[in-house]
Structure 1
Amino acid sequence: MPADLIPVFDGHNDTLLRLVLAGGSRDAKSFFVEGKTGHIDLPRARKGGFCGGLFAMFTPSRLLDDETLDLSPDDPGNFAPVSRENAEPFTRKMIDMALSIESLSGGDVVIAHSVGEARRAMADGKLAIILHIEGVECLSPDLSNLHELYQAGLRSLGPVWSRKNAFADGVPMDFPGSPDTGSGLTEAGRDLIRACNTMGIMVDLSHITEKGFWDIAELSTKPLVASHSNAHAICQSPRNLTDKQLEAVRASAGLVGINFHVGFLRPDGAKDERTDLDQIVAHTDYLLEKLGEDGVAFGSDFDGCTVPAALGDAAGMPRLIERYRQAGYGETLIRKIAAENWLSLLERTGL
């Protein structure tokens, strides 16, 4: 990585899903070719200083055979329940995709099983992947396959996506809306949080209802983390966090990763690519005020959302970092937001 690039460790992307959905047209080999669609491949990651992150594994309610993933809130079919029988093999496909990328990389990509491994990989100029499951429909409610997934590399999970499952309830994608909708953790969900705390698996609160958030806040012994959410005070999406939730995150020495999806950034909730990068800065300013300099990081949602055209993809990260400089952010704070806060948080979680 060029010396003038700020290293970036990102809290959320859907790149593995994009590659699996694309099948033969976008297999693991394509990750090493600079593309014109999507947001992350190795050449664009290197251009942007993107050297590590949590790579999500998500099972859509509708499985499509190309790179188009329609999650329109207007179609309830996009939020229909997913069975374990469908989710478990599909999750395995994404794990296999990550393993194939690692194998084909010639050592340039590493699936990290600890923060130490991630730090070493990044220091050596490699891309560090930490595996994350978004919505754990692939898990048995008795958690009988959790250890097996851990052995396969799982180190982070979000109990829900924006739909109900055996463990908890998720928030809808409506706008405007409150996260205080739906139920909280089930007994299986409570068992899952305890197991994650014991095993050193990070629990992600993005997509969960406010009741579920408070259930986890009461139960968990680890920092509270929302890997890809923004400030509800600026954008009233139920996917964003209220001031009260942000207070709880700060009190737990937790973290929020800023989501680049324009619909979670803009006060009007519009999915408009013309959204200025200053809107990301506005959420960063607000979250820094509420969480402090150690509690804010990136949670881009690359390959799973509509990002501002001015950012474009992973190669555009230096443009966002330059906007932070223009806004008066110092280099130490920028480096914290870009990578160090995530790595420190994962250490506090026990990875």
Structure 2
Amino acid sequence: MTQIPFFDGHNDTLLKLLEAEGDKTRLFIEGMPAADIDLPRAKAAGMVGGFFAMFPPPAKSSAGGAVSASDSKGTLPPELGLADAQASTLGMAAILLQLERAGGLTICRSAADIRAATVRNTLAAVMHIEGAEAIDTDFYALDVLYAAGLRSIGLVWSRANAYATGVPFRFPSDAEIGPGLSDAGKALVRECNRRGVMIDLSHLNAAGFRDVAALSDKPLVATHSNVHAICASSRNLVDWQLAAIAESRGLVGVNYAAGFLRPDGQWQKDTDLEVIVRHVDALITALGEDGVALGSDFDGAMVPAAMGDVTGVPKLLQALLDKGYGEALVRKIALGNWLAMIERTIG
């Protein structure tokens, strides 16, 4: 098979680098076996770029503790203070800027930037926030981060903040958990629309989703989510959410996290790639061929052993071809649909 270039809708590699010991730039550029993505493996696999998330973890996780979206009862973790969130977010932003200066990637602010980086064979990185805790409600931090290249914001991770409420990792459950957007959250949605910053609905609860759908004048996007009808996790999208995304001519990036893929909701590495294909099938049925892309969650979740890391993405693309998808459609899912959506939401 001719290598098919692909764009990754969500990864947490910057957090992996933030928490790593040693020269972070060198680790990414020369190879970091402990991560799912580094530059040598990304290029070998055909990855042309992706949304590089800045996820502000719970403060205690900076010492190496596991990040969890809920306790054993499915309760949301506590809110994160502005100072802690800004410290980690600025650290990850600095790593991304350092990688650009070292020639490891290019921070892209538009679809045209991504296409230009691809022509130069440079990894294209879109700066993304997963959880807006680092943005003060006066939006001073938003001004600074936007100037640095921020072009995509997930309002929440799986906790509440000043803007919205996320969902815990519950199975079985839907996202009908907690209140909708705050007044500050509604103001942030309007400001993102004005600036051309994409709003990511992954992790957002149902009430917040409805508020964004009512307020936003852009297509609805969930960068790394799956189909609730296949895996009844609170993190996955139910039929009415998929219908709203379809009506807006939006997009969903399929998530490779095992617990959001499997019908039994189990976090097991022994998960076949066929279940990812099932989610892609269902997303195409709900959203059409223009509404489905890749959204790995690499370096932020347990992915199937059959995938392994970024070098396993060609196996998924081959599985889609083997399923009977034409090469033109696979290329759209791998890259073309993200480029088109970035052009429509960011510019």
> Residues 77 and 96 (structure 1 numbering): CA distance in 2 closer, same or farther, change over 3 Å?
farther
1:74 and 1:12 mapped to 2: Cα distance?
A: 24
Pair 1:49 & 2:72 matched: no
Alignment of 1:1-351 (within 5 A): 4-22=2-20, 24-25=21-22, 27-65=24-62, 69-71=66-68, 73-74=70-71, 79-105=77-103, 108-351=104-347
Matching residue's letter, 1:273: K
1:27 and 1:144 mapped to 2: Cα distance?
A: 28
Partner SS, residue 136 of structure 2: coil
Matching residue's letter, 1:199: R
Deviation at 1:225, TM superposition (A): 0.3
Following TM superposition, the consecutive aligned residue runs of length 4 or more in structure 1 with deviations greater than 6 angstroms are none
CA contact (8 A) 1:21 1:65 kept: yes
CA contact (8 A) 1:60 1:78 kept: no
2:70 and 2:111 mapped to 1: Cα distance?
A: 36
> Share of identical aligned residues, percent?
48
Deviation at 1:73, TM superposition (A): 3.0
CA contact (8 A) 1:19 1:26 kept: no
Task: Give per-residue Cα distances to partners, 1:178-210, cap 9 Å, x unaligned.
Answer: 111111100000000000000000000000000
- Aligned-pair RMSD on alpha carbons? 1.6
1:68 and 1:315 mapped to 2: Cα distance?
A: 27
Task: Give per-residue Cα distances to partners, 1:96-125, cap 9 Å, x unaligned.
Answer: 0001111122xx511112111111101221
Partner SS, residue 129 of structure 1: strand
Matching residue's letter, 1:139: I
CA contact (8 A) 1:20 1:94 kept: yes
CA contact (8 A) 2:109 2:346 kept: no
Structure 2: where are the runs of 5+ without partners? none
Deviation at 1:36, TM superposition (A): 2.6
Deviation at 1:89, TM superposition (A): 2.0
Matching residue's letter, 1:149: L
CA contact (8 A) 2:76 2:158 kept: no
Deviation at 1:350, TM superposition (A): 3.3
Partner SS, residue 79 of structure 1: coil
1:173 and 1:188 mapped to 2: Cα distance?
A: 25
Task: Give per-residue Cα distances to partners, 1:131-178, cap 9 Å, x unaligned.
Answer: 000100001112232122100110000111110000011111111111
Partner SS, residue 344 of structure 1: helix
2:284 and 2:84 mapped to 1: Cα distance?
A: 40
Partner SS, residue 284 of structure 2: helix
2:101 and 2:139 mapped to 1: Cα distance?
A: 29
CA contact (8 A) 1:62 1:78 kept: no
Matching residue's letter, 1:335: R
TM-score, normalised via structure 1 length:
0.95
Query: Does 160-169 or 28-37 show the bigger shift?
Result: 28-37
Q: Kindly tell me the number of residue pairs found equivalent between the two proteins.
A: 346
1:205 and 1:181 mapped to 2: Cα distance?
A: 15
Partner SS, residue 25 of structure 1: coil
Partner SS, residue 184 of structure 2: helix
Deviation at 1:84, TM superposition (A): 0.7
